[in-house]
Amino acid sequence: MGAEKKIFEYTKKLHMYSGLLTFSAFLVWGVTGVEAMFLPAAGEYRPPPVTGTQEIAYQAPGDLDDDKLCRAIYAAVKIPLAAGRYNVHRDEHSHLAFNVFTINGGREVTFLEERGVVRVDHRRNSTLSYLSSMHTAHSGRHQLTVMASLWGYFNEFSTWAFLFMTFSGLYLWIATRPGLRWAQLALAATVVVTAALWFAIR
Amino acid sequence: MRNIHLGLGLGFFLMALIFAVSSLTAIYRQRLGQTKPEITEKAVQLPTAALATPRAAAMELMTAHGLRGDLREIKEKSGTVTFRIVRPGEVAEVAYPAATGEAKITIRRQTALNTLMALHTNHGVWHEYMPANLWAVLAFCTSAGLILLGASGIYLWFKHYDERRIGSALLTSSVVFGLVALYLTRLEQ
């Protein structure tokens, strides 16, 4: 077997194996991309309804400002898959309140100081919204549990595999059927349309 | 089926490349270093007719001063009107006193890589800015194409009889791992 033929065969195998190994990530990306088309416009997002409320006993140390108190509560309530807090504020009853992001839907945390209780309202997201969050996972994001971390590494690996398949697919076409007129036209059309839109937006 | 797989692959080649590169840019953003947008400031005197509404002012800036994008976040406070004109990779912040129309415009233009990331998340056909709608349609077709590309690829692999053993192991690993990881993570409520 000549060197050229060997390169072709190995590339074909790798292209196929990469696709099979990363199929589940592909599916998640595809579903997320299709769903994105139907997401609400900027500024029109409405959070899902409250699906569960939990109350946790908490006594605050007396010498903390709002930011430090928020950190202390965030550490104490141990929300599963918590990935950051934001919107720290006082509500209309002067209770300290803040939001927590999780892959499985946001939490609204309110400290009811007079009762010594932290109330956690869960707004569970839809499965599609969950998949959308998971499609953004990588080695530096959503590293929260063993499974979520493994998915993050797998997702990152799949992105590299996707890049490889983009180029190897092009190579496999050029190596086998470069003269195919409709294929040439398909490639030319995608390049022209995408480049035209890029320059229009840029 | 071979032709369908090839057609889908070539038809979405550039978009697939953009999605891959923008994803990798997002993953390695911290390692690549923070890139600051290029900031340009300019002052514009809005004509009286454009002061009727913020939308009229925005239209004037788009037609006469080259700003392009969706009109967002219109606010009025202490006699000063502010809004943004947004498109992937560029945000123009506009502020002007409603009485005089002396507009101050701050334009933040992102690098090409950051623009790719903005395009990655550009979705829906609700934009006033038509190229953003067209891009969203193209991204939607690419996403659907990705699913079909995967399905046609599996069919083509299945026809390779000598690759069935290794292929089955890889595909099963992918599907089982994916389902288990996604299911167990979803249980963490």
Q: What is the pLDDT of residues A31-51, one digit of tens each?
A: 999 999 999 888 888 889 999
**Can you give the pLDDT at residue B31?**
83
pLDDT cut 90: percent of chain A above it: 71
Low-confidence ranges of chain B (pLDDT < 70): none
Decide which of B3 and A24 is more confident: A24
B158 in the same domain as B95: no
Q: Give yes or no for A13 touching B (CB within 8 A).
A: yes
Reported confidence tier of residue A178, pLDDT bands at 50, 70, 90: confident
Strand ordering across the sheet containing B90-97: B38-45, B102-109, B90-97, B80-87, B70-77
Q: In what order do the strands lie in the sheet with A117-122?
A: A52-57, A117-122, A107-112, A96-102, A82-90
Percent of chain A with pLDDT over 70: 99
In chain A, which among 158-177 make CB contacts under 8 A with chain B?
159-160, 162-163, 166, 169-170, 173, 177
Tally Cβ neighbours within 10 Å of residue A91.
11
Residue A142: predicted pLDDT: 67
pLDDT at B2: 86
B157 and B137 belong to one structural domain: yes
- pLDDT for A63 equals 81
Torsion sign, CA atoms A92, A94, A95, A99: positive
**Which chain B residue has its CA at the smallest distance from A126's CA?**
B186
B113 touches chain A (CB under 8 A): no
Q: B70 in contact with A at a CB cutoff of 8 Å?
A: yes
Do residues B111 and B119 lie in contact, with contact meaning Cβ atoms separated by under 8 Å?
no
Residue ranges of B 21-50 with Cβ closer than 8 A to chain A: 21, 23-24, 26-27, 30
The answer to whether residues B96 and B127 belong to one domain is: no
CB B96 within 8 A of CB B103: yes
| Residue B20 · residue B168 · CB < 8 Å | no
Range of the domain at B48: 38-110
Q: Cβ–Cβ of B72/A43 closer than 8 Å? A: yes
Does residue A152 or residue B29 have the better pLDDT?
A152
pLDDT score of A62 more than 90: no
The pLDDT score that the predictor gives to residue A60 is 83
Residue A147 and residue B185: Cβ atoms within 8 Å?
Answer: yes
Do B43 and B101 fall into the same domain?
yes
pLDDT of residue A132: 93
Q: Is the pLDDT of residue A25 over 80?
A: yes
CA–CA distance, A19 with A27 (Å, rounded to integer): 11
- Residue finishing a domain among B77, B110, B143: B110
> Final residue of a domain: which of B88, B110, B132?
B110
> What local confidence, expressed as pLDDT, does residue A22 receive?
96
* Structure tokens belonging to residue B80: 């000063």
* Cβ–Cβ under 8 Å, residues A180 and A166: no
Q: How many domains does chain B have?
A: 2
Same domain, B42 and B106: yes
pTM to 2 decimal places: 0.86
Other beta carbons less than 10 A from residue A127's beta carbon: 11
Query: What stretches of A65-180 show up as alpha helix (H) in DSSP?
Result: 66-77, 127-134, 146-176
Domain stop point among B110, B130, B148 = B110
Reduced to 3 states, what is the DSSP secondary structure of residue B173? helix
